[in-house]
């Protein structure tokens, strides 16, 4: 239907993933903040997972496939 | 116990980015909405993985996410019956046996299939009942969203607009309604489906860290076991006797009431979900839709039921306190997910979890609006009000129906807010209408003799028997009224759940028997030629054109069935 859904999904998770990863790196070692998540830096881990997923979506989307054909 | 969040700027940014993408998808699809087929049927062009995820996501609305976590806390592992027995078998049946008729008949909706297979009055009955039901369901979703949002993210809104007071509830209600309205008018069914796919991934990625941390905190599965009674840790073991398990239902009620009548009635005949499969690009993709959806569906209990179970276990250790319902002494299990989010999620992932929650609420709303659009435009407007117009005309009608649908939903949300009992009552009536529907489909699809008169009167009598059964019974401790017993009480069920399951069984049986009897008494009006593609015995067997074995619906169905069975045995 015109738009490949993988592109918006990939973009959104890459952007959100990047934000959370950066936030996670900045706040890494902040014992007080991560006390509630039992000491785990959830922002960093979730951010990285989202970057991987978003990247996978973009790489398999029609955006990349088209370029390969050219 | 504190029940509201203090969100940091970062959390708001995460929520905002999600809304930008939601609206952006609608905007990007706008230029493709050239005809009614594109708007109302997604042009029948989507790949199976997209329709498959939308298939389960459309059902994963507010009532499901909040309700299943609450059930997890109330009934423990028995809640998985709503997934493994209450969804998977019906999804397999839909894919293998029913989809060839829905998709192959070229019907554009479930009511239209009824018109092709039976007659006008059967279609009319179903179309009107369904249209009213979806608008109400969408309204209830909106109500739930606004209600939860005002409690967990209080903004202290107190505006005066032309003398009308606008509080937080109104603010959240209108913001969500406007967003849904915009992306639905722009992109139609495709917009709804794409956002359901987006929502699915958000729920998984947003809730997974919560479940992992909460599970670590309680000490894993063993930790849960140590803190809960044994009858909450099994799905079937204590189902032999209704008094022995927390749900208050015995195995027959679960197996036949939930696993057969309610589940097949919902997953195989409800246009909200069937519409997703019908939007697929080919017969093979349409048949694979429910099967691809079934794979994540089997594992959703980890994300929506397990948090409820963990919350209860944590309350028993004293590590967590669940809030009480306002003005009562009963625990408010509906707050399980928000309370856990607040306990474990630091700034950042907290915004992500809340976004996932909001996404589920909004797509629950949009899913109903998209189904309402199609049924209203094709089965009510085109059939009864204004037939034989141009395609462009029906596209316009579809777009305006979206506006009307959202407006009526807003109205319904206010009705739900003022009269709680009215909503219970309406939901009850819909349950009465839905339960017998599968009987008409079963006989219609697999017995070519079944007549239109028989199907119509079967549906009516099924609905009436449901009302009678409900009116003559009560759940344990219930008071005559909305809970039943309004004609006098001749039987008391151990729980409301048991009463619901048995109401469905009675309604289905009545519809089946009446349809059978009237079929034998009436003349068959449709010729075999007319019924080709609509009835099993008159339709040529379709050969699936998938290249590899693992792409074939039959093979997928066996895998899905085997995994669901294995899960049921592991957690029996």
Domain limits of chain A?
Answer: 6-69
B350 and B189 in contact (C-beta within 8 Å)? no
B360 and B62 in contact (C-beta within 8 Å)? yes
Task: Give backbone dihedrals phi and psi of B280, rounded to 5 degrees, phi first.
Answer: -70, 160
Which two tokens mark B528? 């075999």
Provide the ipTM. 0.92
Give the β-pairing of B473-475 and B491-493.
Answer: parallel
Closest residue to A42, CB basis, from B28, B43, B213: B213
Largest CA distance in chain B: 70
Contacts with A2 from chain B: Cβ below 8 Å = 28-29, 31-32
A46 and B205 in contact (C-beta within 8 Å)? yes
A19 touches chain B (CB under 8 A): yes
Name the residue in chain A with its Cα closest to that of B208: A46
Q: Tokens 């969203």 appear where?
A: B145
Per-residue H/E/C for B281-339:
CCHHHHHHHHHHHHHHHHHHHHHHCHHHHHHHHHHHHCCCCCCECCCCCCECHHHHHHH
A15 touches chain B (CB under 8 A): yes
Structure-model confidence comparison of residues B435 and A14, the more confident one: A14
Closest residue to A37, CB basis, from B21, B201, B213: B213
pLDDT, residue B457, reads 93
The beta strand positions in B502-548, using DSSP E, are none
Distance from CA of B271 to the nearest CA of A (A): 21
Which two tokens mark B130? 């369904």
Q: What is the pLDDT of residues B64-82, one digit of tens each?
A: 888 888 888 888 888 888 8
Number of Cα atoms under 13 Å in the Cβ half of residue A28? 9
**Percent of residues, chain B, with pLDDT higher than 90:** 19
pLDDT, residue B513, reads 93
State which H helix or E strand residue B397 sits in: helix B391-418
Structure-model confidence comparison of residues B553 and B455, the more confident one: B455
If you average pLDDT over every residue of chain A, what do you get?
84
Q: pLDDT confidence of B3, banded at 50, 70, 90?
A: low
Distance from CA of A60 to the nearest CA of B (A): 14
- pTM for the predicted model, two decimal places: 0.90
Contacts with A8 from chain B: Cβ below 8 Å = 21, 24-25, 28, 194, 198
Does the pLDDT at position B419 exceed 50?
Answer: yes
Domains and CATH numbers, chain B: 9-418 (1.20.1730.10), 432-540 (no CATH)
A29 touches chain B (CB under 8 A): no
A23–B10 CB contact, under 8 Å? yes
């Amino acid at each position: 239907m015109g738009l490949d859904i993988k592109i918006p999904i990939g973009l959104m998770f890459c952007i959100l993933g990047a934000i959370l990863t950066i936030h996670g790196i900045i706040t890494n070692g902040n014992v007080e903040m991560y006390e509630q998540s039992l000491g785990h830096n959830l922002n960093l881990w979730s951010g990285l997972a989202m970057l991987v997923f978003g990247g996978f979506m973009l790489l398999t989307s029609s955006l990349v496939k088209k370029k390969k054909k050219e | 116990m504190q029940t509201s969040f203090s969100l940091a700027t970062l959390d708001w940014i995460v929520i905002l980015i999600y809304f930008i993408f939601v609206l952006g998808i609608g905007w990007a699809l706008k230029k493709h909405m050239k005809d009614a087929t594109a708007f109302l049927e997604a042009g029948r062009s989507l790949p199976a993985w997209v329709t498959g995820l939308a298939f389960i996501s459309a059902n994963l609305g507010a009532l499901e996410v909040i309700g299943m976590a609450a059930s997890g806390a109330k009934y423990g592992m028995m809640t998985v019956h709503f997934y493994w027995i209450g969804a998977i078998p019906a999804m397999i049946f839909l894919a293998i046996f029913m989809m060839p008729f829905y998709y192959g008949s070229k019907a554009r909706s479930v009511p239209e299939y009824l018109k092709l297979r039976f007659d006008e009055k059967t279609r009319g009955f179903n179309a009107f009942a369904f249209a009213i039901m979806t608008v109400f369901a969408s309204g209830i979703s909106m109500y739930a969203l606004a209600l939860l949002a005002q409690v967990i993210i209080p903004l202290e809104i107190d505006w005066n607009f032309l003398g009308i007071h606008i509080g937080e509830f109104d603010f959240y209600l209108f913001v969500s309604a406007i967003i849904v309205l915009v992306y639905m008018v722009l992109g139609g069914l495709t917009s709804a489906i794409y956002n359901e796919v987006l929502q699915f991934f958000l729920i998984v990625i947003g809730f997974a860290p919560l479940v992992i941390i909460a599970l670590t905190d309680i000490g894993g599965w063993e930790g849960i076991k140590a803190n809960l009674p044994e009858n909450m840790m099994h799905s079937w073991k204590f189902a032999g006797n209704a008094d022995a398990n927390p749900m208050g239902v015995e195995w027959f009620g679960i197996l036949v009431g939930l696993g057969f009548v309610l589940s097949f009635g919902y997953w195989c005949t409800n246009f909200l979900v069937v519409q997703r499969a019908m939007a697929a690009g080919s017969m093979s993709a349409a048949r694979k839709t429910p099967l691809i959806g079934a794979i994540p569906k089997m594992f959703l209990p980890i994300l929506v039921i397990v948090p409820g179970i963990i919350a209860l276990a944590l309350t028993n250790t004293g590590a967590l306190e669940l809030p009480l319902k306002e003005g009562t002494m009963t625990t408010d299990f509906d707050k399980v997910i928000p309370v856990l989010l607040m306990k474990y999620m630091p700034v950042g992932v907290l915004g992500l979890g809340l976004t996932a929650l909001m996404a589920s609420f909004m797509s629950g709303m949009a899913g109903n609006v998209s189904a309402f659009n199609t049924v209203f435009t094709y089965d009510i407007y085109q059939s009864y009000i204004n037939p034989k117009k141009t395609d462009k005309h029906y596209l316009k009608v579809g777009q305006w129906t979206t506006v009307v649908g959202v407006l009526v939903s807003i109205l319904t949300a206010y009705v739900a807010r003022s009269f709680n009992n009215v909503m219970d009552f309406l939901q009850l009536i819909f349950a009465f209408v839905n339960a017998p529907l599968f009987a008409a489909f079963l006989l219609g699809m697999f017995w070519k003799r079944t007549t239109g008169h028989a199907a119509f009167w079967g549906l009516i009598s099924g609905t009436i028997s449901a009302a009678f059964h409900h009116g003559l019974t009560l759940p344990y401790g219930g008071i005559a009224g909305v809970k039943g017993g309004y004609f006098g009480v001749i039987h008391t069920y151990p729980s409301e759940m048991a009463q619901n399951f048995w109401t469905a069984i009675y309604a289905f049986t009545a519809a089946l028997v009446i349809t059978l009897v009237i079929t034998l008494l009436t003349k068959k009006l449709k010729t075999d030629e007319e019924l080709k593609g609509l009835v099993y015995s008159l339709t040529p067997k379709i050969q699936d054109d998938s290249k590899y074995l693992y792409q074939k619906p039959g093979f997928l169905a066996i895998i899905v069935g085997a995994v669901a069975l294995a899960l049921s045995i592991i957690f029996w």
